[in-house]
């Protein structure tokens, strides 16, 4: 497997040791890093601002020997660039006397081009304008350098890169966004940013924000602690961000130098750029040139080093999840509260099964009533036991209502279902007619009861079920407002568990724990010895896999082979490739075949970046075929 086929490229940022004012020594240090990174499949290595000479040389920048040695050092570094492209920082004096702070792009043994720094700080501890002229407006070609131009992009192993230098990122109009609009996939920043209390946080915010605005990758390399510490200290901060997400960063203050390897997903970036109409419609800058740094292909990547999250909807960090859970519940509850207001604050009618989804929806109803400052008596849950209902879930429904002080109405549906099936002259008791009759009988009761009390029916089905079509058309598929419509199954349990830890009292906590311990089931087949006999995941597959497939298919626009490769990496040791292939086929077959249900979905609040609302995020013909996708799945394990 070669991950470059899926759009991944591997780059590195380096904060090397620096021999101040000794370009020859620095060349040797650069070459050592280049050789090591080349062996690791890196296609581009980024070094800090003025890395060839050292950033903190001050008035030595006016010295002819230092400038001459810096150019000579470039030759040596370029000769080492046979398998990757290096971007290094160097002082460069023009024939007219202007001294520029430049990024030098080196590949295939030559100097490809120079990009001058535009914004030079001259405040606080910075005094850059004492030495350097701005590169704004400079566009030169000559014999000693192919091109010196701030509006210059470089093609490296199939990826187009643009360059900023330190303060350029901090300026009111960073050139990086113009680079992105001109076609740069990744922005490189050669920097010399000193360390102050909380400055790293702000710097990180700038880098992540720049990658979000440009829908790009952003690779940042700052000068390390072997720069002069006369008045300031440099930490060697290295970062990689992608479309608003920090992919990786290093530990700062390493005296022996530091490296950071990161992989960017170009396919994902290109997909988001084409989908984002604001980016698509922005005016493109003029005057840009693209220089080919190297005609070589990216070296094959048999594996990727970036982490692939097995549960992309659920944050791993506890503090981040705490904030995420609060926000999701607030969005759900606020959406429902607004619907109540529009409906004249009528009662909330909900079917309470004792399962996970209806429990979360029930908790959201309680939150919405709090927002509207209404009593819990406005919540009217119904539990509707039928042929498939187990004693366990029925007890949970009763306990949930009792622990929250809400009156539960219990209306058995078995007799109505039997009568309905008899009217149809139906004898098979375990087929789809038998199952759907129960689901539709429940929905009929809920809506009719809502009519009786002047209320609205709160839906409970989640995003994962909607993706798979794991609902009965015009039954649990329908509601007045579905609060769980964009909450995936892998998030449901976390939200209920969070509620149990942060909001529930001593009476409610054990009830939520029991719900969380109950197998996921539609309960449409009679229990076996009183226990649940129909477990959803044994029928359609693990929800953690389906949510993974859904995320990458919807959010990243990934193809079948890429989804499979990423799933194999994410679930290595937990799900065998053949198992992943099996359930990926189920996911795609069901996703395509069940679109007709999503076309007619009721409204519900969008809480994350993935939504299947036919009015918002997802429009797809009901008749689309999965044939080609399934053929690709079937060929995955062929050798």
| Residue numbers annotated as active site | 49, 117, 166
Which is it for strands 379-383 and 409-410: parallel, antiparallel or unpaired? parallel
DSSP string for 212-268: HHTTSEEEEEE--TTS--SS--B---EEEEETTEEEEE--S--TT-EEEEEEEEHHH
Q: For residue 216, give both structure tokens.
A: 């790009």
Q: For residue 373, give both structure tokens.
A: 């400052």
Query: What is the rounded distance in angstroms from the CA atom of residue 181 to the CA atom of residue 469?
Result: 39
The 3-class SS string of 535-596 reads: CHHHHHCCHHHHHHHHHHHHCCCCCHHHHHHHHHHHCCCCCCHHHHHHHHHHHHHHHHHCHH
Instruction: Say whether 12 sits in a helix, a strand or coil.
Output: strand
The Cα angle at residue 128 between residues 123 and 132, in degrees rounded to 5 = 145
**482-493 as b/e: b if 16+ CB within 10 A:** bbbbbbbbbbbb
Backbone phi and psi for residue 26, each to the nearest 5 degrees, phi listed first: -65, -35
Of the candidates 106, 127, 130, 132, the one whose C-alpha atom is nearest the C-alpha of residue 117 is 132
DSSP letter assigned to residue 635: T
Residue labelled with tokens 């009568």: 419
DSSP string for 76-125: HHHHH-SSSEEEEEEEEE-TTS-EEEEEEEEETTEEEEEEE------STT
């Amino acid at each position: 497997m070669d991950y470059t086929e899926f759009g991944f490229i591997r780059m590195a940022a380096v904060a090397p040791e620096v021999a101040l004012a000794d370009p020859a020594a620095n060349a040797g240090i650069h070459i050592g890093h280049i050789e090591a990174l080349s062996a690791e499949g890196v296609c581009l290595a980024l070094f800090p601002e003025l890395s060839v000479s050292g950033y903190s040389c001050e008035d030595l920048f006016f010295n002819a020997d230092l400038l001459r040695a810096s150019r000579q050092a470039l030759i040596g570094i370029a000769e080492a660039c046979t398998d990757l492209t290096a971007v290094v920082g160097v002082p460069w004096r023009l024939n007219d006397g202007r001294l520029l702070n430049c990024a030098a792009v080196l590949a295939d043994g030559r100097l490809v081009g120079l990009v001058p720094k535009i914004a030079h700080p001259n405040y606080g501890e910075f005094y850059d304008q004492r030495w350097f002229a701005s590169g704004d407006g400079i566009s030169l070609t000559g014999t000693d350098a192919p091109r010196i131009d701030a509006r210059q992009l470089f093609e490296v192993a199939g990826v187009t890169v643009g360059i900023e230098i330190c303060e350029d990122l901090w300026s009111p109009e960073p050139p990086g966004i113009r680079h992105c609009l001109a076609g740069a996939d990744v922005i490189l920043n050669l920097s010399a940013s000193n360390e102050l209390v909380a400055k790293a946080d702000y710097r990180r915010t700038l880098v992540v924000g720049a990658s979000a605005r440009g829908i790009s990758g952003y690779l940042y390399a700052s000068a390390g602690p072997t720069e002069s510490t006369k008045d300031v200290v440099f930490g060697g901060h290295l970062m990689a961000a992608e479309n608003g997400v920090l992919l990786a960063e290093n530990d700062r203050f390493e005296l022996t130098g530091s490296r950071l390897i990161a992989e960017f997903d170009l396919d994902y970036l290109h997909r988001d750029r084409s989908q984002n109409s604001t980016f698509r419609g922005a005016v493109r800058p003029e005057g840009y040139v693209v220089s080919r740094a190297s005609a070589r292909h990216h070296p094959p990547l048999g594996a990727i080093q970036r982490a692939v999250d097995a549960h992309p909807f659920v944050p791993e960090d506890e503090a981040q999840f705490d904030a995420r859970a609060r926000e999701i519940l607030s969005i759900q509850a606020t959406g429902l509260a607004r619907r109540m207001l529009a409906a004249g604050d009528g009662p909330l009618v909900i079917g309470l099964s004792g399962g996970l989804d209806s429990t979360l929806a029930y908790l959201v109803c309680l939150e919405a009533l709090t927002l509207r400052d209404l009593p819990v008596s406005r919540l009217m849950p119904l539990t509707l036991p039928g042929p498939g209902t187990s004693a366990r879930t029925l007890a949970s429904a009763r306990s949930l209502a009792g622990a929250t002080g809400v009156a539960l109405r219990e209306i058995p549906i078995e007799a109505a279902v039997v009568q309905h099936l008899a009217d149809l002259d139906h004898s098979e008791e375990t087929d789809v007619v038998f199952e759907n009759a129960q689901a539709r009988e429940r929905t009929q009761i809920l809506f009719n009861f809502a009519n009786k009390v002047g209320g609205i029916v709160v839906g409970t089905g989640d995003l994962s079920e909607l993706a798979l079509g794991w609902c009965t058309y015009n039954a649990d598929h329908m509601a007045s407002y579905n609060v769980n419509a964009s909450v995936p199954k892998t998030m449901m349990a976390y939200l209920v568990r969070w509620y149990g830890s942060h909001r529930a009292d001593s009476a409610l906590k054990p009830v939520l724990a029991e719900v969380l311990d109950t197998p996921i089931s539609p309960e449409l087949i009679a229990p076996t010895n009183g226990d649940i006999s129909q477990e959803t995941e044994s029928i359609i597959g693990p929800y953690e896999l389906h949510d993974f497939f859904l995320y990458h298919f919807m959010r990243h626009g990934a193809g079948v082979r890429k989804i499979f490769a990423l799933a194999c990496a994410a679930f290595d040791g937990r799900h065998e490739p053949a198992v992943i292939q099996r359930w990926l086929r189920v996911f795609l077959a069901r996703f395509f075949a069940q679109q007709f249900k999503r076309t007619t979905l009721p409204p519900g609040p969008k809480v994350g970046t993935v939504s299947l609302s036919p009015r918002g995020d997802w429009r797809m013909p009901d008749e689309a075929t999965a044939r080609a996708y399934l053929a690709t799945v079937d060929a995955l394990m062929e050798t």
